[in-house]
Chains A and B, each alone.
Chain A
């Protein structure tokens, strides 16, 4: 089983600031099989990034993903009010699993 560890658990930032979220896998998941999701309060998750760095349809370019092997990042270049939410990474190289999430909250 691949365990995904997300850090930090909570990120306190102000609108306009840059957010960098980490996702570390317990084993190599290559450079293809990682996705990121955003979940706002009371809503279903929404796909942001697939294939490590490919933005899903309609996702603004302030969201970007990168990494390979075991270390991956999601970057939000300038936080907008609607970006304050919980973010999950998900791997699909060996079965399928999610990270525990990072909450991005308003400072």
Chain B
């Protein structure tokens, strides 16, 4: 049974960079039409998609956050990661890692995903 487990600091300072890692167990990361990504949820709010990455490193980002986000994959460790820079209090959220099913074309920058397996979430507070 595929499981995802996110990890990272619970508290980060404004202007710093958040680094989160998601470890995949119970399945392979190298599958066609499967991507690996992140979604966040501010306290009491809805869901915001951040982006996703393919096992070859091709990445797709939410246009509203694209300048601040970098995602990467390390299939040898069965992990993928999120870096979000220039943090403010507005980035305080629970961050979910999730397996994405769908399709991406890096040349056209086109993507189409839904999330079929989710990790439990990592709560991150941005505060000095």
Which residue numbers of A lie inside 8 Å of B, CB to CB? Answer: 33, 35, 37, 43-47, 50, 56, 88, 90, 92-93, 95-101
Q: How far in angstroms is the closest Cβ of chain A from B85?
A: 21
Q: 30 A-B residue contacts at CB 8 Å?
A: A35-B115, A37-B47, A44-B96, A44-B118, A44-B119, A44-B120, A45-B39, A45-B96, A45-B118, A46-B118, A47-B114, A50-B114, A56-B116, A88-B47, A90-B114, A92-B111, A92-B112, A92-B113, A93-B112, A95-B62, A95-B63, A95-B111, A96-B49, A96-B111, A96-B112, A96-B113, A97-B49, A98-B49, A100-B46, A101-B46
Docked-complex contact A50 and B48, CB < 8 angstroms: no
Smallest CB-CB A-B distances: 3 pairs: A35-B114, A44-B118, A98-B47
Instruction: Classify the secondary structure of B's interface with A.
Output: strand
Residues of A within 8 A of B49 (CB): 96-98
